[in-house]
A and B are shown apart, each in its own frame.
Chain A
Amino acid sequence: MSELDLIQTLSHEEIQAIEIEIAHLPDRASAAIDALLIVQEHRGWVSDESLDAIARLLEMSPADLDSIATFYNLIYRKPVGRHVIMVCDSVSCYVMGCDKLCRQMEDKLGVKMGQTTPDDRFTLLPIVCLGACDRAPVMQIDEELIGPVAGDQLDQVLGRFE
């Protein structure tokens, strides 16, 4: 991939944000996770093409970068919907009824955990403890924490995310 291809694959904005992270670190490869998150913020997920471009920018092999990308659950190597819903299934939310909430969400959206709705509006994912256990059962949609969630509020909550 030439310098020109790299610039065509990643935007100037993305490259700039990644370079800021690199400046805090002793070497370029140490910014791998930051770079993956930055590109994902701009594109929703990390495609093979993006991964190759990031690897080149960080002067590492795409295989090494992919081994890192696939280790972390908040890096998406497949496309996701416009909004990502994470429903906590850890123990405090379990005690407060998250199994029921997960089923209600699956029924409401017509998809299973890990799937995206056919209109690409929502991706539904389970997540470990969100650190808001006094509000259990909780979920997070994009960057917004919502809880406690009652089954009869789901339409209203989901309606805010077009």
Chain B
Amino acid sequence: MDKPLTERIDACGGLVDMAAFEAAEGYATARRAVTEMTPQEIQEIVKEANLRGRGGAGFPTGVKWGFVPKDEHAGAGHKYLVCNADEMEPGTFKDRYLMEYDPHMLIEGMIIGAFAIQADKAYVFLRGEYHESYRLLNNAIAEAKAKGYLGEGIFGSSFDLELAVHRSAGRYICGEETALLNALEGKRAQPRTKPPFPPASGAWGRPTIVNNVETLCNVPAILQNGAEWFQDLGLGEDAGTKIYGVSGRVNNPGLWELPMGTTIREIIEQHAGGMQDGYELRGILPGGASTEFLIEEHFDLPMEYGTIQAAGSRMGTGTMILMDDSICPVDMSRNLQHFFAQESCGFCTPCREGLPWLEQLLLDIEEGRGQPGDLELLETNASLIGAPGNTFCLHATGAIEPLASALKYFREDFEAHIRDGRCPQAGH
């Protein structure tokens, strides 16, 4: 099986340094792209490969790149490529792994991406808590610069590329593309009005592409092996591999690079080693905290964008969180709303005021103070707070996804709390 993202890491048994990376043909593809290919050719191959954004939204990468105005329409000034390495979706730990084990792979992907959109400035927007990633990326950037792979006239061409790491100072909202750009500009991370979208007007008002770490890491192998090869890696409708992950009460929590479209059950049972003794699986959040619960009837579905969406959820980041039978769905929902309420940027009233209100109501139900009608109240308010268009960005929408689905699939648990005036699992 081909594992373009992790086979070098596996072969090295740890950090892939510059020597090991180059011995495995690292930077050869970036060199060829910059010295022998046109930006248009690269965009076409990535489009044809059907690489979709691995940060959660699944937008086709080549199509996004195509939105950047061509030179004659772009006006004077820089264009930017920004790698979204602000990995803060709860339950997600894949980008850290890629950056801390193969930082040169990300740099090579960024060189190719920057060349494809003709960006002369690139940033890695890195979350502040990732200290090891920061050290390793800065070392790798210095090494690449020393070899002439970054800086002026890279690989002996006329193409210049400066790459720097921006350390963030916290807040989940920075993962939202336009909030991220405000943070990169040194401002409060509040989302911007769209349109204009970043490819037209992004960082400092200039054309900007924001791509996730895993997305960019896929680019060198696509150029090296071709669009058809990449499409064939996927088992179903989506192309490539995916770094899937499992956290929760399994025997072997972790990450695995598997063909796109591997089933939920295979990931949990074969790769994560199944549930620990004494624990039953009740449901999963398939791709982070802001995705809807899926339950047993969905576990034979392949983890791919369209299928998971058709099942009423989102593949998101592909790193699933498992809820076992020792966990109270009401209290887990309270934990999730606590996160979203805390991380609201505060700009829109429904999000700033509504999410703490939902958290409080869930706490009341959990602690036995629920009243008849509370579930209807939760549902009504969840739909008002979560409806796209009622708030500026999709933070509140994401917050409601796990709550609305918990009310649907675990309704009896909620009802029992209100009926009995206590949590059936209290003191567990």
Bound form: Cα–Cα A128–B343 in Å = 9
Interchain nearest-CB distance for B175 vs A (Å)? 11
Contact in complex: B129, A71 (CB < 8 Å): no
How many pairs, one residue from A and one from B, have CB atoms within 8 Å of each other in the complex? 135
Does chain A have a CB within 8 A of B411?
no
Query: Interface stretch among B8-16, B247-255, B296-304, B392-400?
Result: B247-255
Contact in complex: A30, B185 (CB < 8 Å): yes
Does chain B have a CB within 8 A of A134?
yes
Bound form: Cα–Cα A25–B128 in Å = 19
Residue of B nearest to A25 (CB): B186
What 1/0 mask marks residues of chain B from 149 to 165 whose CB sits below 8 Å from any chain A CB?
00000000000001010
Contact in complex: B339, A133 (CB < 8 Å): no
Contact in complex: A74, B321 (CB < 8 Å): no
The contact of B248 among A33, A67, A95, A135, by CB within 8 Å, is A95
Query: Interface stretch among A7-15, A83-91, A114-122?
Result: A83-91
Contact in complex: A95, B321 (CB < 8 Å): yes
Q: Which residues of A contact B335 (CB under 8 A)?
A: 89-91, 94
Q: Which residues of A contact B92 (CB under 8 A)?
A: 129, 131, 133
Interchain nearest-CB distance for A70 vs B (Å)? 9
Q: Which residues of A contact B184 (CB under 8 A)?
A: 30
Contact in complex: B289, A90 (CB < 8 Å): yes
What 1/0 mask marks residues of chain B from 322 to 348 whose CB sits below 8 Å from any chain A CB?
111001000010011011001101000
The contact of B321 among A32, A92, A127, by CB within 8 Å, is A92
Q: Which residues of B contact A101 (CB under 8 A)?
A: none
Q: Which residues of B contact A51 (CB under 8 A)?
A: none
Contact in complex: B93, A72 (CB < 8 Å): no
Contact in complex: A67, B188 (CB < 8 Å): yes
Bound form: Cα–Cα A15–B367 in Å = 52
Interchain nearest-CB distance for B316 vs A (Å)? 13
Known: A90-B289, A92-B91. A127 touches B129 (CB 8 A): yes
Interchain nearest-CB distance for A22 vs B (Å)? 10
Does chain A have a CB within 8 A of B194?
no
Interchain nearest-CB distance for B344 vs A (Å)? 12
Contact in complex: B183, A95 (CB < 8 Å): no
Q: Which residues of A contact B345 (CB under 8 A)?
A: 71
Bound form: Cα–Cα A129–B189 in Å = 18
Q: Which residues of A contact B327 (CB under 8 A)?
A: 95
Interchain nearest-CB distance for B277 vs A (Å)? 16
Contact in complex: B90, A128 (CB < 8 Å): yes
Interchain nearest-CB distance for B133 vs A (Å)? 9
Bound form: Cα–Cα A106–B129 in Å = 22
Contact in complex: B169, A37 (CB < 8 Å): yes
Q: Which residues of A contact B89 (CB under 8 A)?
A: 129
Contact in complex: B170, A133 (CB < 8 Å): no
Q: Which residues of A contact B186 (CB under 8 A)?
A: 25, 29-34, 68
Does chain B have a CB within 8 A of A130?
yes
Listed residue (A27, A30, A72, A95) with the most chain B CB atoms within 10 angstroms of its CB: A95
A-B contact pairs, 20 of them (CB 8 A): A26-B78, A26-B204, A30-B185, A32-B187, A33-B168, A68-B187, A72-B168, A72-B171, A74-B170, A90-B335, A95-B323, A128-B172, A128-B339, A130-B129, A131-B87, A131-B127, A131-B129, A131-B130, A132-B93, A136-B247
Tell me the B residues contacting A by CB distance below 8 Å.
Answer: 78, 87-93, 95-96, 127-132, 162, 164, 166-172, 183-189, 204, 245-249, 253-255, 285, 289, 319, 321-324, 327, 332, 335-336, 338-339, 342-343, 345
What are the 8 closest A-B residue pairs judged by CB atoms, nearest first?
A72-B169, A133-B247, A32-B186, A90-B90, A129-B90, A74-B170, A92-B247, A73-B170
